[in-house]
């Protein structure tokens, strides 16, 4: 087994205070999650509904599960009863469905709006303009079963550290813009989720509050 304990502490030791770790456990077995759990880690991220469902049933109930992948609207109902945060909301339609399913479960589900800033055409997420439009539309204000807690993004998958930094800085500046405009009196809107195994150090320098790290803790994924 991969030395999860050692790698987890190596990552935790480098995180500034104020940056929380979401341990990305997708494709890794429950034993790996248990090893991190034994060290006190409680927030885990998964990107597939079925895999998350199995792990949620198997593992301790005080784990906070973040859904980090692209979520189809027809899958929301399966995770709505227990998910702690849905990180990658990229459409009004998805937000509406989360609100509807959360209401059925008599819950408020915390969400992040996913930004598309990276240059890759394949990445999901809202362009800055689409995000402005969603917020300006105002429908979210009447959704009493979702709480928009901040923004999430993935930087381009490139070696150019300056490009990664620029993209994360763009997200940080955009956070300030929407915070001022729509959430100035809303303390819950405070999360900036960026940074993965290869770029979380840059994320910590560009005001991330939440890094999503898989490989650096659990080793390579076996697909």
Choice from 47, 99, 101, 206 touching ligand PLP (CB under 6 A) = 47
Say how far apart CA 2 and CA 18 lie, in whole Å: 28
29-37, 104-112, 171-179, 194-202 -> range binding ligand PLP (CB under 6 A): 194-202
Q: Tokens at residue 148, please? A: 């928009």
Note whether 30 and 55 are within 8 A (CB).
Answer: yes
What angle is formed at CA 20 by the lines to CA 19 and CA 22, rounded to 5 degrees?
135
Give, as ranges, the residues between 115 and 174 that touch ligand PLP (CB under 6 A). Answer: 154
117-125, 134-142, 160-168, 193-201 -> range binding ligand PLP (CB under 6 A): 193-201
Q: Is the dihedral of CA 139, 124, 114, 8 positive or negative?
A: positive
77-85, 95-103, 132-140, 214-222 -> range binding ligand PLP (CB under 6 A): 214-222
Query: CB of 55: closest distance to ligand PLP in angstroms?
Result: 15
What angle is formed at CA 151 by the lines to CA 102 and CA 46, rounded to 5 degrees?
60
Query: CB of 115: closest distance to ligand PLP in angstroms?
Result: 12
By CB under 6 A, residue 68 contacts ligand PLP: yes
Give, as ranges, the residues between 25 and 44 that touch ligand PLP (CB under 6 A). Answer: 26
Give the helix/strand (H/E) hosting 147. strand 146-153
């Amino acid at each position: 087994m991969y030395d999860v304990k050692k790698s987890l502490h190596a990552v935790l030791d480098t995180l500034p205070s104020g940056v929380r770790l979401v341990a990305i456990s997708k494709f890794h077995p429950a034993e790996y999650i248990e090893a991190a759990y034994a060290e006190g880690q409680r927030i885990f991220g998964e990107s597939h509904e079925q895999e998350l469902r199995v792990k949620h049933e198997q593992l301790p109930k005080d784990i906070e599960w973040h859904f980090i992948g692209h979520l189809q609207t027809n899958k929301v109902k399966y995770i709505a009863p227990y998910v702690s945060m849905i990180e990658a909301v990229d459409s009004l339609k998805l937000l509406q469905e989360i609100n509807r399913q959360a209401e059925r479960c008599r819950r408020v589900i915390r969400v992040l709006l996913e930004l598309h800033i990276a240059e890759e055409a394949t990445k999901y997420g809202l362009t800055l303009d689409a995000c402005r439009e969603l917020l300006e539309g105002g429908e979210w204000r009447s959704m009493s079963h979702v709480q928009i807690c901040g923004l999430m993004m993935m930087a381009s998958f490139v070696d150019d550290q300056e490009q990664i930094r620029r993209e994360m800085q763009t997200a940080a500046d955009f956070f300030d813009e929407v915070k001022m405009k729509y959430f100035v009196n809303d303390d819950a809107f405070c999360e900036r989720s960026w940074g993965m195994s290869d770029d979380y150090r840059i994320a910590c320098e560009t005001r991330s509050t939440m890094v999503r790290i898989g490989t650096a803790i659990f080793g390579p994924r076996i697909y």
